[in-house]
Amino acid sequence: MSQISFNVLTEPWIPVVHMDGYMEELGILGCLEKSHKLRGIQHPVPIVELGLHRLLVAFILDAYILAGKRPKDTYDLAEIIESGCFDMGLFNSYAEDCGDVFDLFHRDKPFLQSAGGTGRTKPLAAMFPALPSGTSVIHWHHEHEKQARVTWNEAACLLTTIAPFMTAGGAGLSPSINGAPAIYALPLGVSLFQTLLINIPLRNQDTGEGIVAWRSARQPGQERNQATTTEALTWRPRVIQLIPGVDDRGNTFVQEIFFAKGDSTRLNWIDASLSYRYDDQGSKPVRMKENRPLWRDAGPLLLLKEDQHGQHGRKVAFQRPDVVEQAFEMQTTGDRMLIQAYGMRTDMKMKVFEWAKSTWSVPAKLGRSTRLGALVQNEVDKADSVAFSLRTAIRRLFPREGTGNKSALKTVCDRCERGYWLQLELGFHPLMEAFSKLDPDSPDDSELISKTAMGWRDMIRNIAINQFELAADDMDADGDALERLIRSRSWIRRRIEEVLS
């Protein structure tokens, strides 16, 4: 058999969509060469789609750095965008200078992997959270972990998820540089060319001598306290080596891998694609939470810029992602910005419960105004307070209001809160649109703000009451239960008016 090879620069593996909707797969160089004619990257698995974007951003940024052309501000990015397309001469020279590091199955330098794996192999499922492996949560796949196999191009796609989404595990297996997976923001341009450029990190927090994964000769497996941007984008929390296979019909596949612990870190890294929450406990990335869809965190991801906001009596500050900030700064045409968010919810360790992708159309005026963004977030905070009250009211339907039973009616509360947020999402875009029409420099006018938010507040009121009544319908009908129902119904109606006033 001839030497097995899969060159990610030229082999088709990145799924892209043309402006007319035509889909095909391209290698890295082909993707960049055609990027100004492509609508974007599209993959059925959200964490893969985000991973592919970040891989291309790392490739572009590293090429610019080695050529002495690292973008320093949005003016540099705008200048490249104005050129209309990428300088492929620069990327071809970069690929040549990197050498033979883009072969997925290179004997010594496999792409995004570490050569020399020995000992027992593991099923491919160990690196892909959608597949059940060991004690991992079973989602929609119910096959044995050893049966899972993918094609070579699919295996390459899976490798891109390791840096942004790798979770912690047992036996010293650390998560990636951002800790437990957080919610990543991806502002969209009119083409893949623009999308990739506006998502290039401009914050230079490079420390140490680390380099992008495919140029690094260092074997991962150390405790690190320094990082560079390109290293962080291709962080290696695991030692991985794919084991290629070819069946009797010539079909290529990957079914087994070498898999071991890689780099760990306590470095306080600021990822350009993440939003951060600041309180008296320090800072942490915004992550997905149970029963809460992605849009609920649209404020921190899209609108908030270091303002203080209240939540159940606490004061916190949020900073939206750097890439969102620079996208609004660069926008010179159009009245809206499309921003996608990608998240994966875990138990903060190794269990993966769900992943999600959401797309928002944000009025540019709203995105540029700290004040208007804060007003929208205040309305979302009201919805959050009502959601908290809804759970409290439902627990009041339980004898002694659930005292001594922390799980009292938890399933009912979870179901009603999910329904509440899912229905309320229909009002979020109209809410942004309504506040974007206000004068950002006008003084606060409580009457005007209430009038602008009237439709939103009516939705909150109606949905919360409906969800409470749905929960009440499942309760007992004896005298004590009816008394609790009357008291709870009165309490939640009164509480909702207090929050929305």
Same domain, 51 and 188: yes
Of 222, 237, 265, the position where a domain reaches its end is 265
Number of domains observed in the structure of the chain:
2
Is 172 found in the same domain as 47? yes
- Taking the alpha carbons of 222, 228, 234, 235 in that order, is the dihedral positive or negative? positive
Q: Does residue 97 sit within a domain? A: yes
Rounded to whole angstroms, the Cα distance separating 420 from 210 reads 46
Any domain includes 91: yes
Contact predicate 189/39, CB 8 Å: no
Q: Which pLDDT belongs to residue 406?
A: 62
Sequence-distant contacts of 449-452: CB under 8 A, at least 24 apart = 449/375
The pLDDT, as a whole number, for residue 161 is 95
- Contact between 126 and 133 under an 8 Å Cβ cutoff? The reply is yes
Q: End of a domain among 236, 265, 294?
A: 265
Same structural domain for residues 389 and 253? no
Q: Where are the beta strands (DSSP E) in 188-271?
A: 223-224, 238-246, 252-261, 264-265
CA distance 55 to 241: 18
Whole-number pLDDT of residue 173: 86
Tell me whether residue 9 is in a domain. Answer: no
Q: What is the pLDDT of residue 464?
A: 97
- The answer to whether residue 289 sits within a structural domain is no
Residues 241 and 383 in one domain: no
Residue 212 in any domain: the answer is: yes
Can you give the pLDDT of all 501 residues of the chain as single tens digits? 457 899 999 999 999 999 999 999 999 999 999 999 999 999 999 999 999 999 999 999 999 999 999 999 999 999 999 999 999 999 999 999 999 999 999 999 999 999 877 667 888 887 777 665 554 544 455 555 667 888 999 999 999 999 999 998 767 789 999 999 999 999 999 999 999 999 999 999 999 999 999 999 999 999 999 999 999 999 999 999 999 988 888 888 999 999 889 999 888 899 999 999 888 888 899 999 988 888 988 888 888 876 555 554 567 888 999 999 999 999 877 789 999 999 999 988 888 888 999 999 999 999 998 889 999 999 999 999 999 999 999 999 888 665 556 666 888 999 999 999 999 999 999 999 999 999 988 778 899 999 999 999 999 999 999 999 999 887 777 778 888 899 999 999 999 999 998
The DSSP code sequence of 115-147 is S---S--EEGGGG-TTS--TTPPP-S--S-GGG
Position 234 scores a pLDDT of: 98
Pick from 7, 80, 58: which is nearest to 230 by CA? Answer: 58
Helices 370-395 and 428-436, axial angle in degrees (round to 10): 150
Same domain, 386 and 247: no
Same domain membership, residue 255 and residue 379: no
Q: Which of 248, 265, 282 is the last residue of a domain?
A: 265
Distance, in Å, from the CA atom of 192 to the CA atom of 383, rounded to the nearest integer, reads 35
Look up the domain containing 130 and give its range: 14-265
Tell me if 189 is assigned to some domain.
yes
Residue 170 lies in a domain: yes
Whichever domain contains 440, its CATH number is 1.10.132
pLDDT of residue 1: 43
State CA 443 to chain mean position distance.
35
228 and 89 in a common domain? yes
Any domain includes 440: yes
Closest residue by Cα to residue 328 from 374, 297, 358, 362: 362
